[in-house]
Amino acid sequence: MRADTRLFAWVLAAAAALPALAAAPESKLPGPAEIPAGYRHWTHVKSGLIPPGHAAYASFGGLHHIYANDRALAGYRDGRYADGAVLVYDLFDTRDTADGSLDQGPRRHIDVMVRDARRYAATGGWGYAEFAAGDTRDRLSDRQRNGCAACHRSREAQGQVFSEWKD
């Protein structure tokens, strides 16, 4: 499947999850408490660009980098994510340069997914958190956390993970 087709499918899945997000009860769902130290030294899985004008731009637009700890990297390879797998989605604005190229701009936010089937049973075994640039407090509400889980369930066959490992 082409990258733009996969991205469009992802956006459709996110849109399909919105009704579940709106109906999700508030329930004090736990999320990862902090940004993992040293995540930029983990395995870099991929980078991607969601440009201005794209349907997903408001929430996920910009240049993103995805990092995986060792347990998450094993999950990418075999499709099963063990407890302790952690993924970090580091999102940046973009800026045009004087020579007409596109460069990484300021950070927008950092999203974290942590696999713990018992602790995060209510959200499919994954805990979700989002940290605004320069902030160390998770800003997701329970409804947003439920929305993350609903959208990620559309990727059940891939361990509820959108990104894919490319050798």
Q: What 8-state DSSP symbol labels residue 136? A: -
Indicate if the pLDDT at residue 18 is higher than 60.
no
**Whether the predicted pLDDT of 97 surpasses 60:** yes
Which one is the CATH code of 3-26+40-158: 3.40.50.970, 3.40.50.1820, 3.50.70.20, 3.90.1300.10?
3.50.70.20
Among 87, 71, 108, 59, residue whose Cα is nearest residue 155? 87
∠ at Cα 147 (145, 148), nearest 5°? Answer: 65
pLDDT at 138: 94
pLDDT band at 8 (very low <50, low <70, confident <90, very high): very low
Given a contact cutoff of 8 angstroms between Cβ atoms, the answer to whether 24 and 144 are in contact is no
- Which pLDDT belongs to residue 79? 87
Please give the average per-residue pLDDT across 33-37, as a whole number: 92
**Which whole number is the average pLDDT over 52-76?**
93
Determine the average pLDDT of the residues in 50-78: 93
Residue 47 and residue 146: Cα distance in Å, rounded?
25
The predicted model gives 93-117 an average pLDDT of: 95
The pLDDT value recorded for residue 56 is: 87
Percentage of residues in the chain having pLDDT higher than 70? 83
Degrees, nearest 5: CA angle 19-164-79: 90
Per-residue pLDDT tens over the stretch 141-167: 999 999 999 999 999 999 999 999 987
Phi, psi of 133 (to 5 degrees): -55, 130
d(CA 20, CA 148): 10
Instruction: Tell me what the mean pLDDT of segment 115-125 comes to.
Output: 95
pLDDT at position 7 = 43
In 3D space, the residue among 145, 129, 150, 152 whose CA is nearest the CA of residue 29 turns out to be 145
Ranges 8-22, 53-67, 91-105: which has the least confidence = 8-22
Q: Is pTM beyond 0.75 here?
A: yes
Domain residue limits, the chain? 3-26+40-158
pLDDT (0 to 100) of residue 153? 96
Q: Is 117 helix (H, G, I), strand (E, B) or coil?
A: coil
Question: Can you list the alpha helix ranges (DSSP code H) found in the chain?
Answer: 3-23, 57-60, 70-78, 142-152
